[in-house]
Structure 1
Amino acid sequence: MYPDEFNYYEPETVEGAIDLLEDHAMEETELLAGGHSLLPAMKTGLSSPDVLINIGKIDDLRGVTVNGDTLSVGTMSRYSDVLASDDAHEHAPALTAAVERVGDRQVRNRGTIGGNLAHADPASDLPGAALASDATLVVQGSDGERTIPADEFYYGMYATDLSPTEILTRIEVPSAADAVGTYAKKPSPSSGYAMVGVAALLTVEDGTVASARIGANGAMDHGVRLKPVEEALVGESLDEETIETAAGRATDDLDTTLMMDDLQASGEFRAQLLEVYTERALEAAINRTSAPAAAD
């Protein structure tokens, strides 16, 4: 299968890419990052852009760095770049736990963090982790930069707060070096995408949960916070009883009639999966907090 004809550009700066988006604002335009979602869609006819802008040559969009108490990940950083970064594992444990479960080695060597988040596939692994990590998405347009909290970035299936003439430039994550981050998912047997995925970021002090952020993907048409689970955890001992109680509240804030319902799983089944995989993500947190510290 071959895509329809399109005009192709390779800008070398963010400003150049934004200029192209504005010049072609009246046409169907797509940005090409890693290409794992866009290119198959083009080949099958699900996407037929008039203009394709490859941002892969923009060096300013790459890199994993720490600035003060913030981890900054360039939008064109590959999954493998994040996994190779000690800083990412230290400061963003929930995000790296989710990245570890993305696709396979080939996908992780080519796919990009920013492409995943901006594409907003409800079954992708990173939206829930971005929510759990309290990430901020930095976007740039002709009027300059603006920041969007992950809690305000997603609206629905493939729908975000990005305007058609803006580019996601980087993701900023407040340091969680003193926290435990985990991710548990039920992968689709046909695609490996998440039928349900749950990311957890917990700070535990003397066996008691001091703070908790829980994010999920795959269950609804966009990534969601599981605030009732968070509320059930904070101030409680991190033990099996607390986890069971908290996981049982996974759907409390969600309209279960709007759960994703497709050939992979019904909405009712996804609601059950959400509780199960919330419990598994929290159990993994117990295992990590009880693991002996590595010797210096």
Structure 2
Amino acid sequence: MKPPPFDYVAPSSIEEVLDLLSDAQDGASLLAGGQSLMPLLNMRFARPELIIDINRVDGLDGIVVSADKVTVGATVRLATIEHDAEVAAALPILATAASYVAHPQIRARTTIGGTLSHADPSAEMPTVAVALGATINLRSKTGTRSVSAEEFFESTFTTSKEADELLVSVDFPREAGMTFVYDEISRRQGDFPFAGLCLGLSVRNGVVASARAAAAGVADIPQRLPALEAALVGRSIAEATEDAAAAAAGEANPPTDIHGTAAYRRGLLRSLVRRILSTLDEEQK
């Protein structure tokens, strides 16, 4: 199919983008990597009056690594995150998770702002953003605001970003002593996962001091797993593993669809908890 008719503009500054978004109200769509928007246009699921191409906008394509966070601009490609040596040294989970996304050709076009704004509950980077406690930075003509990743994702393909707002960057915090692992189970490499899990632990003297976890594919948003976190804290990894796996399965609310039942996805999540905790336990030895 061919897309419906639309107007196209390619501004060069954030201010121009914000003016266009303000004028268009709900009638505009942003084009960055186009990996989600173009299929939606071609199938006519999306019918914007205006396409705003932000690929030439100054100030959206940088990565800044500081002592307490990694800030990634909205138009940074996932392939850049995957292969950036400074990112890999500062927050390796970002590079690891990016490597799970689809295929190299897709990662070469997909942007961090695009995958977060698309808000697919099975996607890897939104799940990592929730697990890490990332902050989403938004701008409009009336000002700026920052929201936590947990607040940003509201439902399937739905976020708290307003129509006149532009996602400009994401702050991924760095917490000393916290080690994160991402893993997933899918039909084929590059497919969206049936279930994915990002789990991070801080271990002191053999005991889990803190934990953060979020899952993909088990709810209508990338789901934070506080019961799993609570099951781990104050115990050794080996001692807590089965309770943590049961806790994660208990708080997940996966869909039943053509790919599997809710019980099937809960079982996959249990397996991922065990698998990641085994990896983290080995790293502590």
Q: Structure 2 length as normaliser, TM-score?
A: 0.94
Contact 2:76/2:112 (CA < 8 Å) preserved in 1? yes
Distance 1:95 1:243, change over 3 A: farther
Gaps of 5+ in 1: 291-296
Cα shift readout 1:67-107 (whole Å, capped 9, x = no counterpart): 34121011111112112223322333333321121111111
Distance 1:48 1:35 in 2: 14
Q: Which position in structure 2 is the counterpart of 1:293?
A: none
Deviation at 1:253, TM superposition (A): 3.1
Q: Which position in structure 1 is the counterpart of 2:81?
A: 82
Q: Which position in structure 2 is the counterpart of 1:15?
A: 15
Distance 2:161 2:26 in 1: 17
Distance 2:156 2:42 in 1: 21
Letter in 2 for 1:69: D
SS in 2 for 1:56: coil
Distance 2:115 2:57 in 1: 17
Contact 2:35/2:106 (CA < 8 Å) preserved in 1? yes
- 2:246 is the counterpart of 1:248: yes
Deviation at 1:176, TM superposition (A): 3.0
Of 189-198 and 120-129, the range deviating more from structure 2: 189-198
Distance 2:283 2:78 in 1: 23
Distance 1:235 1:243 in 2: 12
Letter in 1 for 2:274: E
Letter in 2 for 1:281: I
Distance 1:50 1:63 in 2: 29
Q: Which position in structure 1 is the counterpart of 2:34?
A: 35
Paired residue total: 285
SS in 1 for 2:234: coil
Distance 2:36 2:187 in 1: 16
Deviation at 1:24, TM superposition (A): 1.0
Aligned pairs (5 A) from 1:117-196: 117-189=116-188, 192-196=191-195
Q: Which position in structure 2 is the counterpart of 1:284?
A: 279
Contact 1:180/1:288 (CA < 8 Å) preserved in 2? no
- 2:3 is the counterpart of 1:3: yes
SS in 1 for 2:194: strand
Cα shift readout 1:118-142 (whole Å, capped 9, x = no counterpart): 1101121112111111111111111
Letter in 1 for 2:271: V
Contact 2:62/2:73 (CA < 8 Å) preserved in 1? yes
Distance 2:283 2:186 in 1: 22
Cα shift readout 1:256-278 (whole Å, capped 9, x = no counterpart): 3xx22221122221122222222
Distance 2:218 2:250 in 1: 13
Gaps of 5+ in 2: none
Aligned pairs (5 A) from 1:255-266: 256=253, 259-266=254-261
Letter in 1 for 2:95: T
Deviation at 1:288, TM superposition (A): 3.2
Q: Among the aligned pairs, what percent are the same residue?
A: 32
- 2:225 is the counterpart of 1:230: no
SS in 1 for 2:251: coil
Contact 1:90/1:177 (CA < 8 Å) preserved in 2? no
Cα shift readout 1:164-206 (whole Å, capped 9, x = no counterpart): 1101111101113532111111124496012111001111223
Contact 1:127/1:216 (CA < 8 Å) preserved in 2? no
Q: Which position in structure 2 is the counterpart of 1:114?
A: 113
Q: Structure 1 length as normaliser, TM-score?
A: 0.90
CA-based RMSD of the aligned residues comes to 1.8
Of 195-204 and 183-192, the range deviating more from structure 2: 183-192
Distance 2:2 2:123 in 1: 25
